[in-house]
Amino acid sequence: LKFFLVVALFLFKRYRRSAMARNAEKALTALARWRKMKLDEERGPTDHRPALASDCNDLRKAEGWRLDVIREIARKIAQIQNPGLGEFKIRDLNDEINKLLKTKYHWEVRVRELGGPDYKRIAPKMLDREGRELPGNRGYKYFGAAKDLPGVRELFAKPSSDVGKLKKTYAQLVHAADARYYGYVDEDDGVILPLECEAEAAARKKAAEEWEKNKIDKFADELLEKVDLPTVENVGNLEENAADILFPGDDSTDRPVNADDVSIAVPSQEEVQQAILKRKKMELLEKYASESLMKQSLEAKSLMGL
């Protein structure tokens, strides 16, 4: 029992010391935050770096923002030297450094536009020398522990001679582009030509059928344009002309035509005109067209359902 009491007392004292340490850490953290707030108040409002370098029109501010970007790049390069950050953290830092390098380039261009020095030519290249580019992947650099990432280390380990053999110049690529590359010999595969011949034969057949259908009607229309057709106003009585059209074989002129005696309705003026036009067309076809032409016309009309 005495032993258990000693152990309980020891654990209680240890817990009390740890609680006091945590409270002290919290107090220091709160004090640090308060001190930082006071320093920010004394320093006054700080400007934020513009997202676009073209938004800055002051040369001194542009040079200051360029130096701010350089300091941020140096800080991140120092962080990425630690291989214990983890693969994902290292990749994120490497991406951020490459993005900041592009931002630095934009600010250097803006400083030059505002009349300042050309930092691209006179500034030291220390930050750029820290990074290493993959062969054939120009523009993206790997810094610090990013060079030893899985998949990157193997690419750096390849000899440069093999990379030079794989990479071809523009002249070599143009020289290798033959007629097959531009599609001039696609017909030689034996697949396209039969399909084209089949489609061409179907198109020719369809065009011939349409031409045969339209040939007779076009010929008749041309004849009708040269002949003056009678109108309803010039044919006399509407009922007598209707009777002549409806009963072309009846020569009995003494029989009066009465609408009440006829078992069908009296045609209208438009129907009479259509009947006269149809009859005149048939007369012209019988007069000028041959028997074969008439046969083709009848076949075409039967196909069209007329």
Spatial contact of 110 and 96, defined as CB atoms under 8 Å apart = no
pLDDT at 73: 92
pLDDT at 66: 92
Q: pLDDT-based confidence at 239, cuts 50/70/90?
A: very low
| Token pair in block for residue 54 | 């073209």
For the ranges 2-11, 248-257, 261-270, which has the lowest average pLDDT? 248-257
| Token pair in block for residue 288 | 């000028």
For the ranges 179-188, 202-211, 241-250, which has the lowest average pLDDT? 241-250
Better-predicted residue by pLDDT, 110 or 196: 110
Is the model's pLDDT at 81 over the cut of 80?
yes
Q: pLDDT-based confidence at 125, cuts 50/70/90?
A: confident
Q: Comparing C-alpha atoms, which of 89, 76, 78, 102 is closest to residue 149? A: 89
In the chain, which segments carry CATH 1.10.287.660?
53-159
d(CA 277, CA 279): 6
pLDDT digits (tens, 9 = 90+) for 41-80: 787 667 788 888 888 899 999 999 999 999 999 999 999 9
The mean predicted confidence, pLDDT, of the chain is 75
Better-predicted residue by pLDDT, 113 or 137: 113
pLDDT at 262: 45
Query: Mapped to the 3 state alphabet, what secondary structure does the chain carry?
Result: CHHHHHHHHHHHHHHHHHHHHHHHHHHHHHHHHHHHHHHHHHHCCCCCCCCCHHHCCCHHHHHHHHHHHHHHHHHHHHHHCCHHHCHHHHHHHHHHHHHHHHHHHHHHHHHHHCCCCCHHHHCCCHHHHHCEEECCEEEEEECHHHHHCCCHHHHHHCCHHHHHHHCCCHHHHHHHCCCCCCCCCHHHHCCHHHHHHHHHHHHHHHHHHHHHHHHHHHHHHHHHHHCCCCCHHHCCCHHHHHHHHHCCCCCCCCCCCCCCCCCCCCCCHHHHHHHHHHHHHHHHHHHHCCHHHHHHHHHHHHHHCC
Q: Could you tell me the pTM of the whole model?
A: 0.41
**Those residues with Cβ within 8 angstroms of residue 213's Cβ, 6 or more apart along the chain or in another chain:** 300, 303, 304
* Residue type at 71 in one-letter notation: R
Q: pLDDT-based confidence at 301, cuts 50/70/90?
A: low
d(CA 93, CA 88): 9
Average pLDDT of the segment spanning 216-223: 66
Q: pLDDT-based confidence at 176, cuts 50/70/90?
A: confident
Q: Comparing C-alpha atoms, which of 288, 248, 278, 247 is closest to residue 264? A: 247
Is the model's pLDDT at 224 over the cut of 70?
no
Spatial contact of 143 and 77, defined as CB atoms under 8 Å apart = yes
Task: Name the CATH superfamily housing domain 53-159.
Answer: Helix hairpin bin (1.10.287.660)
Is the model's pLDDT at 238 over the cut of 50?
no
**Those residues with Cβ within 8 angstroms of residue 104's Cβ, 6 or more apart along the chain or in another chain:** 66, 69, 70, 73, 127
